[in-house]
Structures are given as structure tokens and as C-alpha cells.
Amino acid sequence: MVAAQNDGVILGVKVARNAPPINHLLFADDSVFFWKEKGSTSRELRAILDRYCQASGQVINKAKSAILLCPSTTMKVASNCFKDFEASPTVPLGNYLGLPTEFGKSKKHIFNKVVEHV
């Protein structure tokens, strides 16, 4: 995945070469955020979410929240990210919306199942 950050704006990540960048996915009552940590990105995202919670009156349910990091994430970056979100490392989540939350470089077999179901 490729990500960029510019002037305090959190830009999306590309999940494939020709795909448009994405920084979030919104489902019924779930949100998924994608970013490449550049030293303060997780702190900026946390500030955005805090402002949203103050404005909307909604609260993030930490018991139902998780942070998944790329395997190449350094311990320092991971530690800062968990600190910024007041979270701790989680156990593997298994599946989310029918797809595994963790997978290797080749995703073809995973998404073939989705195509078959559609």
C-alpha cells in the first residue's frame, strides 16, 4: 500500500496500482480507517475523531475497536499508535464482513470467493 500525508491532511492508501486512494470505509455502524504513519498521523486522526465525537455526541466503543498494523510496522511506530488511541495490541480478529482481517501478499484466493458469491 502507498500512502501520503500533506499539510496535516490524512490522504488515503492505494490498495492496488491502478486503484484510487482510500482513507476510510463506512459500513452500517462501523468505520475502517487506513493511513501510513508519518510520526503524527495517528495523533491527527485521533484529534479528528475526538472532534467528531464532541460535535455528534457519539462515542467510540473501545471494547469493539481494534487497531491492525502492517507486519512491517516498527515497534516504535506501533507503540506510538497504540498510545495515541489509548489502545493495546489485539489478538487476531478472524473475519470481518466475511473476509479475513489479516492476509498475505496474494489476495486472489480470498477475493475469488467473493466473486463466486456475487
The strand pairing partners of 3, in sequence order, are 13
Q: What tens digit of pLDDT does each residue of 58-112 get?
A: 998 888 888 888 888 889 988 988 999 888 877 667 777 777 777 766 777 777 7
pLDDT attached to residue 9: 67
d(CA 2, CA 15): 8
**Model confidence band, residue 50 (pLDDT cutoffs 50, 70, 90):** very high
Q: pTM score, two decimals?
A: 0.70
Higher pLDDT, 60 or 8: 60
d(CA 9, CA 72): 23
Per the prediction, the chain carries an average pLDDT of 80
d(CA 8, CA 86): 21
